[in-house]
Amino acid sequence: MSESSDPASLGPNVRQTAAEMATGDRTETLLQTEDLVKTFGGFTATDSVDFAIEEGELRCLIGPNGAGKSTLLKLITGTLTPTDGAVYYNGHDITDLAPNKRVDRGISMKFQVPSVYGDLTVRENARLPIQQFADGAERRQLVRESIDAAGLSGYEQVEASTLSHGQQQQLEISMAASLEPDLLLLDEPVAGLSVDERAKIAERVTRLNEDEGIAFIVIEHDTDFVGEIADKVTVLDEGDVFREGSIEEIESDPAVKRIYLGEDDGGDE
């Protein structure tokens, strides 16, 4: 599956796009996965996942532990290679594209465990993504803005390992956002944060989405946070998409309650 712009080699939604383009119509599908499978030995982490999001959308992924949420995100960023299936981004097959090339295309990610570089200073951390594409005064300006956006002015020379958990999360979002992505993937951005810190992250994600048009896929267990930020929610279970809808629809779905919250709705599904 090599990178290609040939409509015949694209996924179903993109093939539709090619047809629509011929008639002057236009789809806004940003990312689509097609029958995406990832197995680890005998364990199937994702099982033929078909998933798509539109440009500028803010989608939350929820589901019980082991549902395949983090695996799906890593397959999208390319840090994991799928066993089968394909990933399309802006109409191109990126399944075999190296992770750093996907970043160049506009996909960025913040991992579940805070992954700021503890041995590097805040400035060095903020500079890492920016140094890939900017130099000199522009780089200094972007680094300053990235640190300011994380609320870490005055901490530039501090080793990142000494920051609080919330500060590390903010720094990491800054690092991911400074790559100027079209799609930002966040894996449990508010896990372990206080109410205040959670509110700050929610405000920041919403601002980046609304003001800068960045599309988000956010994995989160905190349903209050999900309700606060998400346009649409996708529920994963046993490695596949189980339900999609608004947070209200999802929260009131008895089958979701059963698989996700372990609640018995008395139904037979």
Interface region with another protein, contact rule CB under 8 A, candidates 7-15, 38-46, 156-164, 256-264? 156-164
Lookup result for tokens 């078909």: 50
Q: Is 103 near another protein (CB under 8 A)?
A: yes
Q: Which residues contact 66 (CB under 8 A, 6 or more apart)?
A: none
Give the residue, chosen from 66, 111, 227, 255, that forms a contact with another protein under the rule CB under 8 A: 111
Give the residue, chosen from 3, 84, 124, 145, that forms a contact with another protein under the rule CB under 8 A: 124
Which secondary-structure segment (H or E) carries 203? helix 195-212
Among candidate residues 114, 226, 227, 218, the one with its CA nearest the CA of residue 166: 114
Interface region with another protein, contact rule CB under 8 A, candidates 3-11, 62-70, 123-131, 191-199? 123-131
Give the residue, chosen from 156, 222, 231, 238, that forms a contact with another protein under the rule CB under 8 A: 156
Q: Which is nearer to another protein, 109 or 147 (CB)?
A: 109
- b/e per residue, 232-243, with b = 16+ CB within 10 A? bbbbbbebbbbb
What is the nearest approach in angstroms of another protein to the Cβ of residue 220? 18
**Any idea what DSSP says for residue 9?**
G
Q: Is 2 near another protein (CB under 8 A)?
A: no
Q: Which is nearer to another protein, 44 or 111 (CB)?
A: 111
* CB 168, CB 114: distance < 8 Å: yes
Give the residue, chosen from 58, 179, 247, 250, that forms a contact with another protein under the rule CB under 8 A: 179
User: What is the CB-side half-sphere exposure of residue 63 using CA atoms within 13 A?
Assistant: 26
| Region 189-248 residues binding another protein, contact defined as CB under 8 A | none
Q: Which is nearer to another protein, 59 or 102 (CB)?
A: 102
**Edge-to-edge strand ranges of the sheet holding 43-54:** 43-54, 29-40, 84-89, 92-93
Beta bridge partner(s), residue 76: none
- In order, the DSSP letters of 26-41 are ---EEEEEEEEEEEET
Distance in angstroms (rounded) separating the CA atoms of residues 155 and 7: 49
Q: Which sign does the torsion angle of CA 133, 53, 43, 263 carry?
A: positive
Give the residue, chosen from 33, 77, 167, 170, that forms a contact with another protein under the rule CB under 8 A: 77
Q: Which is nearer to another protein, 154 or 262 (CB)?
A: 154
Interface region with another protein, contact rule CB under 8 A, candidates 30-38, 127-135, 140-148, 255-263? 127-135
What is the nearest approach in angstroms of another protein to the Cβ of residue 265? 38
Give the residue, chosen from 35, 84, 159, 222, that forms a contact with another protein under the rule CB under 8 A: 159
Interface region with another protein, contact rule CB under 8 A, candidates 21-29, 110-118, 222-230, 258-266? 110-118
Lookup result for tokens 């090599």: 2
Q: Is 108 near another protein (CB under 8 A)?
A: yes
Q: Which residues contact 141 (CB under 8 A, 6 or more apart)?
A: none
What is the nearest approach in angstroms of another protein to the Cβ of residue 167? 15
Distance in angstroms (rounded) separating the CA atoms of residues 203 and 225: 10
Residues that bind another protein (CB under 8 A): 77-79, 98-100, 103-104, 108-111, 115, 117-121, 124, 127-129, 131-133, 156-159, 162, 175-176, 179
